[in-house]
Amino acid sequence: MDRAALCRHRETSKIDGPRFPNVQIRLEKFDYVEGRHRYCILQLSQTLFGEWCLELAKGPIGAPGGQLRRAYFGQHGEALHSFEILRDKEVQRGFVPIPVQLGLL
């Protein structure tokens, strides 16, 4: 089977189901009085087994340390809902979204 036929087969396959894009947002918080600069990255992506992984990475900018948390969900809707809750919580804590250009592939 050539490459074009394989792509057509994947697009018309009933097994895959709907495809949802990966979601990522970078938030930063600058406190000039205390000299603390922090980042927070939220990323929602699908695993190899079809689950959805929500990653939260946060820590100081330009210094060692930080933390990474992962949560796995069976459905895209509940993962996206948790993503939005975490994003809103970090914005309430003073973080602001920073535009980041992602790679095309």
75-99 pLDDT tens trace: 999 999 999 999 999 999 999 998 8
Residue 5 has pLDDT above 80, yes or no: no
Question: Number of C-alpha atoms within 13 angstroms, CB side, residue 75?
Answer: 3
Whether residue 90 contacts residue 27, with contact meaning beta carbons closer than 8 Å, is answered with: yes
Q: How far apart are CA 48 and CA 79, in angstroms?
A: 16
Contacts of 82 (CB under 8 A, 6+ apart): 54, 71, 73
Contacts of 40 (CB under 8 A, 6+ apart): 26, 27, 28, 29, 56, 57, 58, 90, 95
18-70 pLDDT tens trace: 678 888 999 999 988 878 899 999 999 999 998 999 999 999 998 888 999 99
Domain boundaries, given as residue ranges, for the chain: 20-98
Which amino acid is present at 33?
A: V
Which amino acid is present at 54?
A: L
